[in-house]
């Protein structure tokens, strides 16, 4: 039995803890916040039956690692899948583009472009593999094979919205993953993601985990006997092994004695932040019941995505309130990271009137602002060469973060998959 510490109580940290405890290890989980969840965490008003995620989340039908974990826990009957409507903006209107029929009916493409769209998308989803694609930029590959008009209308706004001025560097392998893994049906957990995370944490605690909340790690020091000392704002403790699930730069700063080559790899990984304003409204915003609006910034929208959560999960779960996300991926030095919640709401409100001319500020019941400087890794060409190993150069120190799930996009499914791999390595099982 090993004495193991995990830094971070997000889904990766919780999953690794679950695996390690099942194998008979002693596990302590350090979390700087007051609750589990990390990027997938949520919040809940007194009159709500469900929680709402701080940063919008859902599962896809192909999220095998996540769904298998829930099945192993015996909670598969609490998974809910439905098919909400996703729309794109074209010539001042919104159109679905999430099914073959929707593509055929979309007025923005000619018949030849629709045929081209179908053939290239089929190739990416069912034939292509990602490694040969990572040497091409998404911008160049999509432009070449889908054509200039399709690229400009559909794909460029998504790339710019997701990666800001870095969009031209993103490899096609990352875009391939979006075609490969995503499904029109979206899933969630009964009661919201936070309900799942809390239940999972309770299960882990029953198996013997020790949670230390409101605790910030400041340093990890290797000991002469191969063990590792964790220094926190609450004290210090020595462990046989340590798994860090934070950002790459935080790991580099926590462990000054890290090998310079590995540390340089950590510092070279770039990321973009996220800013999300959540609104609770008296009334439904989308008269058509649309769930996800992709908003092109070139058309003047001040944020990337408008997500009407209660067109996915009924407003009945939230005391009849209609939940709306206004979200964006932005560099951490963007002004949105300094503006107050009220200043951001004032900036965003005119866009809501573009969705529904009847919208008025008096519709707003409550509002919340969430910001994270590390929310989305930025991959570059041949990015697989840049991924740091789970097993660091320091004996018994391991690292698992969303910067290592490439070519897949950030999400709980890949956090679970990565955590399983990390736990296997920690236990000396190299077959996974």
H/E stretch holding 368:
strand 364-378
Work out the end-to-end distance of the chain between its first and last CA atoms, rounded to an integer number of angstroms: 20
For tokens 């769209």, the residue is 117
pLDDT at 198: 97
- Can you give the pTM of this predicted structure? 0.94
pLDDT at 182: 85
DSSP class per residue in 276-325: EEEEEESS-S-TT-EEEEE--GGGT-SSSEEEEGGGTS-GGGGTTPEEEE
Q: Is the Cβ–Cβ distance between 269 and 374 less than 8 Å?
A: no
β pairing state of 305-308 and 322-330:
antiparallel
pLDDT at 432: 39
> CB 431: neighbour CB atoms within 10 A?
4
Partners of residue 326 on adjacent β-strands: 277, 306
pLDDT string in tens for the chain (432-residue length): 899 999 999 999 999 999 999 999 999 999 999 999 999 999 999 999 999 999 998 999 999 999 999 999 999 999 999 999 999 999 989 999 888 888 889 999 999 999 999 999 999 999 999 999 999 999 999 999 999 999 999 999 989 988 988 999 999 999 999 999 888 899 999 999 999 999 999 999 999 999 999 999 999 999 999 999 999 999 999 999 999 999 999 999 999 999 988 998 899 899 999 999 999 999 999 999 999 999 998 888 999 999 999 999 999 999 999 999 999 999 999 999 999 999 999 999 999 999 999 999 999 999 999 999 999 999 999 999 999 999 999 999 999 999 999 999 888 999 999 999 999 999 986 443
Q: Is the dihedral of CA 226, 232, 236, 242 positive or negative?
A: negative
Rounded Cα distance between 199 and 252, Å, is: 32
pLDDT at 429: 65
Rg of the chain on CA atoms, in Å? 22
Catalogue all structural domains in the chain, each as residue range(s) with its CATH number.
3-59+192-270+385-426 (3.50.50.60), 99-181 (no CATH)
Distances (CA, A) of 32 to 9, 241, 246, 353, 404: 9, 19, 11, 39, 22
pLDDT at 181: 84
- Per residue in 48-78, pLDDT tens? 999 999 999 899 999 999 999 999 999 999 9
Residues shown for the chain = 432
């Amino acid at each position: 039995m090993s004495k193991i510490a995990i830094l971070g109580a997000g889904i990766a940290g919780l999953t690794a803890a679950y695996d390690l405890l099942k194998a008979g290890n002693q596990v302590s989980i350090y979390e700087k916040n007051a609750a589990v969840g990390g990027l997938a965490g949520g919040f809940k008003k007194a009159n709500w039956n469900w929680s709402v995620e701080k940063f919008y989340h859902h599962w896809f039908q192909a999220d095998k690692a996540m769904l298998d974990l829930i099945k192993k826990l015996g909670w598969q009957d609490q998974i809910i899948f439905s098919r909400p409507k996703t729309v794109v903006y074209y010539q001042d209107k919104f159109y679905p583009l999430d099914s073959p029929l929707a593509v055929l009916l979309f007025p923005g493409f000619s018949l030849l472009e629709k045929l081209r769209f179908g053939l290239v998308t089929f190739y990416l989803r069912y034939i292509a593999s990602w490694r040969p694609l990572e040497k091409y930029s998404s911008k160049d590959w999509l432009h070449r094979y889908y054509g200039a008009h399709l690229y400009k209308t559909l794909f460029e706004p998504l790339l710019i919205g997701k990666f800001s001025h870095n969009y031209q560097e993103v490899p096609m392998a990352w875009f391939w993953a979006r075609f490969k893994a995503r499904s029109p049906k979206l899933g969630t957990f009964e009661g919201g993601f936070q309900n799942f995370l809390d239940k999972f944490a309770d299960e882990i605690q029953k198996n013997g985990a020790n949670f230390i909340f409101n605790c910030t790690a400041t340093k990890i020091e290797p000991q002469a006997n191969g063990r590792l000392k964790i220094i926190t704002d609450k004290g210090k403790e020595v462990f046989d092994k340590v798994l860090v699930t934070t950002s790459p730069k935080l790991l580099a700063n926590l462990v000054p004695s890290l090998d310079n080559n590995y540390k340089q790899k950590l510092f070279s990984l770039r990321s973009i932040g996220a800013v999300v304003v959540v609104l609770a409204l008296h009334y439904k915003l989308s008269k058509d019941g649309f769930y996800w609006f992709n908003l092109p910034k070139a058309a003047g929208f001040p944020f990337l995505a408008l997500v009407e959560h209660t067109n996915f999960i009924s407003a009945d779960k939230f005391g009849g309130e209609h939940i709306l996300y206004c979200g964006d991926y932005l560099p951490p030095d963007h002004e949105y990271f300094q503006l107050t919640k009220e200043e951001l709401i004032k900036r965003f409100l005119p866009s809501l009137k573009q969705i529904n001319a009847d919208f008025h500020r008096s519709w707003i019941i409550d509002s919340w602002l969430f910001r994270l400087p590390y929310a989305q890794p930025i991959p570059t060409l041949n990015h697989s060469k840049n991924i740091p190993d789970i097993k660091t150069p320091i004996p018994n120190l391991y690292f698992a973060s969303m910067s290592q799930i490439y070519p897949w996009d950030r999400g709980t499914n890949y956090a679970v998959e990565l955590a399983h791999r990390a736990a296997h390595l920690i236990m000396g099982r190299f077959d996974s």
